[in-house]
Amino acid sequence: MIGHLKAFRWMKSHLTATLLCALVLALGIARATDLLTPAKEIALIIGEPWKDMQARSSAKIADDIPNEIWYRMPKELAYLRFADRRYGFVTPPAKFFTVSFDENAKIRSARMSPQTEPLPLDEALKVVLDLQEQWRRGGWVLADAEGYPPYADTAWWREQILACVGIWSPFPWGVIAATNKLANPGSTAAVWWLKSLQSICWSNLAS
């Protein structure tokens, strides 16, 4: 009886180890697939028909819901191309990425964290500065330059960013860019946060 009990315990312990190994392997394969699969594009303009965005984008995203205000997420890893002719910009691929629609099936907003994993401050700042430069070239202007100045890769800014540790932010990923007000192209607002592994800060711009 004791021998059978020992054998059962041995099998149970090895079964758990096997299941853990299988789980780790599955997660590794999924992660490798994400890294090796090229990101698709979601190309949109705030206020345009949902179907126009679907037709322009290479990433698949579900249909809108008639007479509802809701959102959808791309069905595959995707980046955002804000397709306005004057104010357009392109983000890195985003693991967190939602596009919302209004009751008239028009694009209402886009919310995203343009990265695929949490980033250290140096890498998060590179993403922020690239987006800022695209916005600057496209004619975006700061909504409140005194209260929320643009980020810069300086010793003073790094000190300010690191001092932001503990400030609440609603997303688990690092850099966040969002067009989150219903507006016509040319008057779209963008609100975004800088959240790295070391800190959370936020700023905003508006065209």
Q: What is the pLDDT along the chain (207 residues), one digit of tens a residue?
A: 555 555 446 445 555 544 454 454 554 554 545 556 899 999 999 999 999 999 999 999 999 999 999 999 999 999 999 998 888 899 999 998 999 999 999 999 898 888 898 888 888 888 888 988 998 888 887 777 777 778 889 898 888 777 765 444 333 333 443 332 223 345 566 665 565 555 555 555 544
Q: How many Å apart are CA 45 and CA 32, to the nearest integer?
A: 32
Strand partners, 192: 177, 203
Q: Which DSSP string do the residues of 100-137 spell out, in sequence order? A: EE-TTSBEEEEEEE-SSS---HHHHHHHHHHHHHHHHH
Cβ partners under 8 Å of residue 148, min gap 6? 142, 202, 203, 204
CB 63 within 8 A of CB 49: no
